[in-house]
Amino acid sequence: MENTKKIPCLDLAGQHQAIKKEIFEAFEKVYEKTAFSGGPFVEEFENSYAKFIGADYCVGVSNGTTALHLAMLALGIGQGDEVIIPANTFIATAWGVSHAGATPVFVDCDETWNMDPTKIEAAITPKTKAVIGVHLYGQPFDVDGIKAICSKHQLFLVEDAAQAQGARYRNKTVGVFGDIACYSFYPGKNLGACGEAGGLTTNNEKYFLHLRSLRNHGSTVRYYHDEIGFNYRMGGLEGASLSVKLKYLEGWNNRRREIAARYQAEIVNPKIRMQVKPEWADGIYHLFVITAENKEELVKHLSENNILAAYHYPVPCHLQKAYAHLKYTVGSFPNAEYLASHCISLPMYPELTDNEVSQVISTINSF
Ligand SMILES: *Cc1c(COP(=O)(O)O)cnc(C)c1O
């Protein structure tokens, strides 16, 4: 064994060392201006992020979960409404719906491990107001397929692009297909702040103005409150760190694509399955998830070879205790359940070296 250094699933240290000087210079500017909450550094990021996505407007908020919550409120979704979301996603997609007082209705995934468009119509009821599509692991969902159903039934479409910043669907950056798109800038995401942050983009001016007010105590004029609002602002230090990192995002994403392409081409073990990638999907591989029938043995084999795997996600949303009252059972969504019990996330971050990638590949092929 030529390398005894452990290879983690995600390591943020390399990236933050490389840009430390630039980030600290940005922090210093925020500090000098004491622009700690919202303000010019958040606005600067909002403007460049809207441009990056190709959307008219961007609103920076405190995290991805509050972004989803506000998206529901801006669309007028609340008590008594239902919102369709995938069973296979990070739980925060469902929190956005629940925090608005509405009910999440789950739908199974297909072999792309994203929401199966053919299963959506069966979940629609007179109470359904919207679908939240999730570009999971960084791979776009079937936008045309899901949009067609939303149009037919007059449902809003919200994109949860928390894991997919810079991913492309039919050559267009995701985040411009729904009524509103939500992003997380949690440090572990493919664009992460030095702190907690999130955002929304939209082309609808009415939603934009409402979102801006909602995040700031329901206020557009200081100390005048038009409705019950929230303190969901983004911090200035977070905004400044994001502006620095956004310049590197395309390069980091391309390195992720390079690593993924090697995993896809060079992992040849028939015991392993991967996310099916339709020809219109150009993902950014926030995560690289595989499944193995005998998952425990593979994890042991990986760890014996100094590779630390992780699980995204071990329990599907519909079987979480928090949603026991919705009365889903084991067997409700077989694909999401299979994935939850067999998924392993391989190391994936731009700073992985070619040697480390080779080590992951040869370890899996020798299993
Ligand atoms: C991370 C994530 C969120 C929530 O973002 P936070 O910033 O952690 O609140 C929402 N949806 C998905 C798919 C995510 O991966």
CATH number of the domain where residue 324 is located = 3.90.1150.10
Residue 5 lies in a domain: no
The answer to whether residues 232 and 148 belong to one domain is: yes
Q: What pTM was estimated for this model as a whole?
A: 0.98
Among 246, 275, 304, the domain boundary falls at 246
Verify whether ligand 1 is closer than 6 Å to residue 186 (CB atom). yes
Rounded Cα distance between 331 and 321, Å, is 16
Range of the structural domain that residue 210 is part of: 13-246
Q: How far is the CA of 265 from the centre of ligand 1 (A)?
A: 29
Q: How far is the CA of 88 from the centre of ligand 1 (A)?
A: 13
Q: What is the pLDDT of residue 12?
A: 97
The answer to whether residues 232 and 329 belong to one domain is: no
Rounded Cα distance between 299 and 353, Å, is 21
The answer to whether residues 45 and 89 belong to one domain is: yes
Rounded Cα distance between 186 and 184, Å, is 5
Cα dist from 115 to 24, 86, 336, whole Å: 40, 5, 9
Report the chain (367 residues): mean pLDDT per 10 consecutive residues: 79 97 98 98 98 98 98 98 98 98 98 98 98 98 98 98 98 98 98 98 98 97 96 98 98 98 98 97 98 96 96 97 98 98 98 98 97
Verify whether ligand 1 is closer than 6 Å to residue 234 (CB atom). no
Residue nearest to atom 6 of ligand 1 (CA): 64
Verify whether ligand 1 is closer than 6 Å to residue 190 (CB atom). no
The answer to whether residues 39 and 152 belong to one domain is: yes
Strands (E), 205-362: 272-274, 281-282, 288-292, 343-346
**167 and 138 in contact (C-beta within 8 Å)?**
yes
Partners of 107 in beta bridges: 86
The answer to whether residues 325 and 221 belong to one domain is: no
Q: What is the pLDDT of residue 5?
A: 86
Cα dist from 279 to 28, 67, 112, 113, 126, whole Å: 45, 30, 11, 15, 34
Rounded Cα distance between 239 and 93, Å, is 23
Among 193, 223, 246, the domain boundary falls at 246
Verify whether ligand 1 is closer than 6 Å to residue 177 (CB atom). no
Closest to 71 measured CA to CA, from 154, 147, 159: 159
Q: How far is the CA of 4 from the centre of ligand 1 (A)?
A: 33
Strands (E), the chain: 57-61, 82-86, 103-107, 128-134, 156-160, 168-169, 172-173, 180-184, 198-202, 272-274, 281-282, 288-292, 343-346
**181 and 75 in contact (C-beta within 8 Å)?**
no
Q: How far is the CA of 318 from the centre of ligand 1 (A)?
A: 17
**244 and 238 in contact (C-beta within 8 Å)?**
no
Number of structural domains the chain divides into: 2
Verify whether ligand 1 is closer than 6 Å to residue 92 (CB atom). yes
Verify whether ligand 1 is closer than 6 Å to residue 97 (CB atom). no
289, two tokens = 């998830």
Q: What is the pLDDT of residue 282?
A: 98
**86 and 114 in contact (C-beta within 8 Å)?**
yes
Verify whether ligand 1 is closer than 6 Å to residue 184 (CB atom). yes
Q: What is the pLDDT of residue 4?
A: 73
Verify whether ligand 1 is closer than 6 Å to residue 134 (CB atom). yes
Cα dist from 252 to 14, 67, 77, 173, 346, whole Å: 12, 24, 36, 15, 17
Among 246, 278, 300, the domain boundary falls at 246
Closest to 234 measured CA to CA, from 52, 40, 15: 40
Residue 241 lies in a domain: yes
